[in-house]
Structure 1
Amino acid sequence: MNISDALAITGQLKGSSDSPELDVELLLCHILEKDRTFLFVHRDYQLAEDQQSQFEQLIQRRLQGEPIAHLTGSRGFWTLDLEVNPTTLIPRPDTECLVEKALELIPHSVARVLDLGTGTGAIALALASECPVWQLIAVDRVAEAAALAEQNRQRIGLDNVAVLQGSWFEPVDGLFEMIVSNPPYIDPLDPHLEQGDLRFEPVSALIAADNGLADIRQIATQAREFLVSGGKLLFEHGYDQAAAVQALLSELDYTDIESAQDYGGNDRITWATWEKEKTPNAE
């Protein structure tokens, strides 16, 4: 099999993928350890026997719906290449909208920033790479996820991030200028959980009680004790949750509450300001 033959397999994936051509190209790049340009310049390049066998095995796994990121062990996010595995969510392009908003709200001034439910470390590492003067703490409850985030941190070489294991605010202390989170926000009854890549991702990182709002409420409630006066709280949430998240933040006495859309035009990011002199409502 040469590269041209391998690229022709695209047709097999059309019923299993929204991007069959790209899937085949990424799998070939992974196996050959080459970039995509190589594929188009060297169409006659012959795959070694072990490479062809590996390619065919990966195609079969993709036909079963297994995500490309799990097959290759990596995913691009922001300007970074992150290692991924089945213990965490695969970073999505729409989450880059949260990174963009965070950078906009505190434009490169010195800040202490907390990322809750960090997974691969995507958000914290992207922010740290853009703002070397920021000090970031990335937290995840799952030991394997925290270990993966730390592995990504070390590989990328970012010294302004500390990765901690624990449930939300449990392992941290002090005050932060900003708290960001992409927490579980899918309703346990949502049919999308049985579709696409979500079937292969950890349920604990996806679902939350109270129509998907339980973790957002818990974080927003506790964050009031960890934000400086004027500190910012940012969430990624479901495409239909912006109004509910805004109402929740208003109920908890946050101010300047706004939402922004993702790349698909869905309300995906909501943020607010906490004024320290306020007295939190009793919960």
Structure 2
Amino acid sequence: MNSFAGQTVDAARRLLTAQLKTAAVESAELDARILTGHALGLDLTGLISAAQRLLTPDQSARLEEFARRRLAGEPVARIIGEKEFWGLPLQLSSATLVPRPDTETVVELALELLRASGSLDRPLRIADLGTGSGAILLALLSELPAAQGFGTDISEAALHTASVNAARAGLSERATFVACDYASGLTGPFGLIVSNPPYIRTADIGGLAAEVRDHDPPAALDGGADGLDAYRALIPQAAGLLAPGAALVVEAGEGQSARIQALMTAAGLMPVAAPKADLAGISRAVAGHKMAR
């Protein structure tokens, strides 16, 4: 039975909120508003103005399906197929992670380093290794008007999603996507390289929140036995492609920053700034730079 059949827009939203609260969904009210709006094709203003309108059978069926998926633990971003990152609406696919606010720390640190070196407005080649939805690369290009960006991924499906997102953001002319393993298909030099590689220890994946464990692509999560396999691969590659004085900025998991810095040092990259913490106080963005000759 469809619990939303015959309901007004406002009543359906409140009913979905109650269902999510009963299921102990923390963001019940926000999720209900987003899902109801998406099912009806309405933004917040539209939801308010249409509050007393009756749902059509198609709308109630669509909202029932959204409710079923959310109650089963699927993230809202997966259900609606989109997530905002750095103010950009990004399309998602089964081949891409849901971009998270923590990852904006990488963008922030990268921009801080470029600002300190006076490079924000200069022509610049930047690379995003394992680009997924293109989130980090497109965020940087949106802030760096003279930059050209290159995003790599081993997943053709992810690269297609990133290309769609570049087009939606009006950045296609400055974004090139390359199918390869991290930096293996790129030629330098680059003025900045960034990456959010898989860094979850294999043994820890089973204990992740269901929204992540059951819906994010496993290859984008699994960092090997100690979580550092990807860094061992990409850091030496990046070190060989950076221009003198240029930086590599990567996302780190909790408790990993010191070991990642050691891998950077071993590859000839020197610490350029203290790791940047996210809102939870975790050292989330780690940077190293190539010494100027």
For Structure 1 versus Structure 2, the TM-score category normalised by the shorter chain is over 0.9
Percent identity reads 36
Specify the alignment match of 2:246 in structure 1.
231
Indicate which of 45, 59, 62 corresponds to 2:67: 59
Cα offset, 1:170, TM superposition: 2.2
Answer yes or no: is the 8 Å Cα contact 1:73–1:83 preserved in 2: yes
Say which SS state the counterpart of residue 203 (structure 2) adopts: coil
Displacement, 1:146?
0.6
Deviation, 1:52, is 0.8
> Which position in structure 1 is the counterpart of 2:280?
264
- What is the aligned partner in structure 1 of residue 196 from structure 2? 182
Alpha-carbon distance, 1:154 to partner: 1.6
- Decide which of 11, 26, 32 is 1:5's aligned counterpart: 11
- Of stretches 82-91 and 32-41 in structure 1, the one that deviates more from structure 2 is 32-41
List runs of 5+ in structure 2 lacking aligned partners.
1-6
Q: Does 1:147 align with 2:163?
A: no
**Contact 2:247–2:288, Cα closer than 8 Å, also in 1:** yes
C-alpha distance in structure 1 between counterparts of 2:286 and 2:262, whole Å: 11
Quick check: 2:188–2:243 contact (8 Å CA) kept in 1? no
Query: Which shifted more, 224-233 or 29-38?
Result: 29-38
Judge conservation of contact 2:92–2:133 (CA < 8 Å) in 1: yes
- Give the match for residue 179 of structure 2: 165
Question: Residue 191 of structure 2 contacts residue 243 of structure 2 at CA under 8 Å; is this kept in 1?
Answer: yes
- Give the superposition deviation at 1:41: 4.1
Q: Report how far residue 265 of structure 1 moved.
A: 1.9
Whether the 8 Å CA contact 1:16–1:62 is kept in 2: the answer is no
Measure the CA separation in 1 of the matches of 2:137 and 2:24.
32
Shift of 1:156: 2.0
Contact 2:105 2:278 in 1 (8 A): yes
- Secondary structure, counterpart of 1:200 in structure 2: coil
> Paired residue for 1:36, among 36, 44, 52?
44
Match of 2:210 in 1: 195
Could you tell me which of 91, 95, 99 is aligned with 2:103?
95
TM-score by length of 1: 0.93
CA root-mean-square deviation: 1.6
* Partners of 1:173 and 1:55 in 2: CA distance: 48
Equivalents in 2 of 1:112, 1:136: separation in Å?
Answer: 6
Give CA deviations for 1:167-207 in whole Å, capped at 9, x if unaligned: 11122112101100000000001143363333211100101
Deviates more, 1:133-142 or 1:248-257: 248-257
AA of the residue aligned to 1:51: Q
User: 1-side partners of 2:24 and 2:182: how far apart?
Assistant: 36
Query: Shift of residue 45 of structure 1?
Result: 2.4
Deviation, structure 1 residue 50: 0.3
Could you tell me which of 129, 132, 135 is aligned with 1:119? 132
Partner of 2:181, secondary structure, is: coil
Q: Report whether the alignment pairs 1:245 with 2:260.
A: yes
Counterpart-to-counterpart distance in 2, 1:153 and 1:58: 27
* Counterpart code for 2:155: V
SS in 2 for 1:273: strand
Partner Cα distance (1:194, 1:262) in 2: 19
Which structure 1 segments of 5+ residues have no match?
278-283
CA offsets 1:115-167 (integer angstroms, 9 cap, x no match): 00000111111111111201110111101001110111122221211111111
One-letter amino acid matched to 1:3: V
- Report how far residue 242 of structure 1 moved: 1.4
Deviations 1:3-36 (A, max 9, x none): 2212222121133532111111111121222212
